[in-house]
Amino acid sequence: MSINHDTYISLQTELKEKGVRLVAVSKTKPATDIQALYDLGHRDFGENYVQELSEKAAQLPADINWHFIGHLQSNKVKYIAPFVHLIHGVDSFRLLQEINKQAVKNNRIIDCLLQVHIAREETKFGLDEQELRQILEEPALSQLNNVRVRGLMGMASFTDDQDAVRSEFRYLKELFQRLSPKFGSAFNELSMGMSSDYNIAVEEGSTMVRVGSLLFGARSYEKK
Ligand SMILES: *Cc1c(COP(=O)(O)O)cnc(C)c1O
């Protein structure tokens, strides 16, 4: 129940120099840990579960930028729409439509990233290149005025093979570059890299890393 203070300071310093944003992934960790990092000046936190996020947001300072990084079900969008800063894991046009609908209700524009499946594992969510292109070609996309697609997000394979991880990140970056003319100038975020592979992700062009256990220690339980 404490944060790795020195690791945070050195990681934040390194990432700031490189112009990369650090999202501190606080899932399963108590609000007191988030508050401790907040007190050091940190504002970007990531959570995977809607209910856990809502509970924490209600008890922590209002100027936190909450990133939703888990798999979001359409029927739960309404709970986070009033306050969420960036939704990283959008993996269908239907979900984008629901986010837009809830954003309209809250009189907001909600920033989103499209999640791309880059890992070898079957279990990880995300779109393939063809599905991404289908979303781009949706005639109704231009009518979603309350969502802004800001870029792409991906998770590399869970493996010690660093070359494989690197090539997955490199592929995501290439896809990002190929698609960005179609999305316009707000399409400028590439969310990739976690505790075990953030350094490779940064070398391959990440603009935003999602780091949990390195900052908060290992999680005592893992939810899927
Ligand atoms: C849990 C999680 C992270 C952080 O993982 P660590 O290995 O603890 O850094 C990053 N991204 C996503 C999508 C996650 O679910």
pLDDT of 125 reads 81
**pTM value > 0.85:** yes
- In angstroms, what is the span from residue 48 Cα to ligand 1's centroid? 9
Ligand 1 atom at shortest distance from the alpha carbon of 198: 9
> Is the pLDDT reported for residue 220 higher than 90?
no
Alpha carbon distance 49, 84 (integer Å): 12
Tens of pLDDT along 81-139?
A: 999 999 999 999 999 999 999 999 999 999 999 999 999 887 668 999 999 999 988 99
**Which residue minimizes the CA distance to atom 13 of ligand 1?**
69
Ligand 1 atom at shortest distance from the alpha carbon of 194: 9
DSSP-derived letter for residue 73 is: P
pLDDT of 123 reads 67
Q: 153 in ligand 1 pocket by Cβ < 6 Å?
A: no
Helix, strand, coil percentages in the chain from 3-state DSSP, rounded to 5: 45, 20, 35
Alpha carbon distance 203, 156 (integer Å): 14
- In angstroms, what is the span from residue 45 Cα to ligand 1's centroid? 11
pLDDT of 120 reads 86
Ligand 1 atom at shortest distance from the alpha carbon of 196: 7
Tens of pLDDT along 7-58?
A: 999 999 999 999 999 999 999 999 999 999 999 999 999 999 999 999 999 9
pLDDT of 224 reads 42
In b/e form, how buried is each residue of 108-129, taking b as 16+ CB within 10 angstroms? eebbbbbbbbbbeeeebebbee
The mean pLDDT value of the chain amounts to 95
Q: 212 in ligand 1 pocket by Cβ < 6 Å?
A: yes
Q: What is the mean predicted confidence (pLDDT) over 144-166?
A: 96
> Is the pLDDT reported for residue 170 higher than 50?
yes
pLDDT tier at 183, thresholds 50, 70, 90: confident
* Residue 193, token pair as written in the block: 């890299």
Of 121-130, 144-153, 206-215, the least confident: 121-130
3-state secondary structure of 116: strand
